[in-house]
Structure 1
Amino acid sequence: MTDATSRDGSRSGSTAQPVGGAKGPDELRRQIEETRGQLGDTVEELAGKADVKGRAKARAADLKDKAGAMSVQLRSSAAHAGHTVQDKAGRAGHSVQDKAGRAGHGAHDTAGRAGFGHPRAVLAAGVAVGAVAAAGLVRRRRHGHC
């Protein structure tokens, strides 16, 4: 709105004085400087909010940092899990090896008591049984008995 002067010299419309009114030129200058400072802060805030590209870059950098940290954490967890599995597999392998060794010794002892005193004799007997079984299978297939 513009100020208008009536015929009697009184003013109507908006006034240059704030609601509280300045008590002199120095007070008015101080209020103007204060308002300029507030306006500058407001303009900066609005410019920051309007800078979509800048905000997107900042958000992308933040997400990249979080992803990098998560990647390091996942690698550490995977390495730990790998070591755990490797340790368990090693213990299981040793356990199976021990049991197989005990079973082999038991079979050797049993073969010795059964009259197969030498491992070669046990091997020869196994080969003979396998050959008989294979010959039987070949004969059945040739005669059409699958």
Structure 2
Amino acid sequence: MSDTHRTDNENPTPEDLRRQVEHTRDELGMTVEALAAKADVKAQAKERTAAVKQQTAEKAALATGQVRDKAAQVAQKLKDHTPDPVLEKTAQAAAQVREGAAKAGQYAADKAPEPLRESAGQAATAARANRVPLLAAGALIAAALLVRRSRSHRR
């Protein structure tokens, strides 16, 4: 190497050297962080768990939507194929059940201790909040009973 062919890049200034050192420190810091992240098994497990949890929640939401849609279709088919007299009797029975439940609820409210009334109120609130799934389940049970009954009459 000869000293006659040196340029300014070959003779860096102290400021250039500081910048190079700072740049090298930054790169080294990022490399250390990357290595530390690869070595942190606990954090990786948490990330994987969160990802699986998210996927499961998305799949559950999709399945719930599909079940609700199917239940609505079954309920509509059941209603379409049920004779009007049966629908009227069902409506009358439902009205009687509601009336009886209201009377029983009032009686229970009058006779039950306060902690029990609070628990019952919480249960009623939860049932109201989940009305659609409860109705869908009821429709599915009714459909299953009608199918079972119609199959037993065919034999």
Q: Which structure: larger Rg?
A: 1
Higher helix share: 2
TM-score interval (norm. to shorter): 0.3 to 0.5
Q: How high is the TM-score relative to the length of structure 2?
A: 0.44
- Higher RCO (CA-CA < 8 Å; seq separation 6+): 2
Q: How high is the TM-score relative to the length of structure 1?
A: 0.46
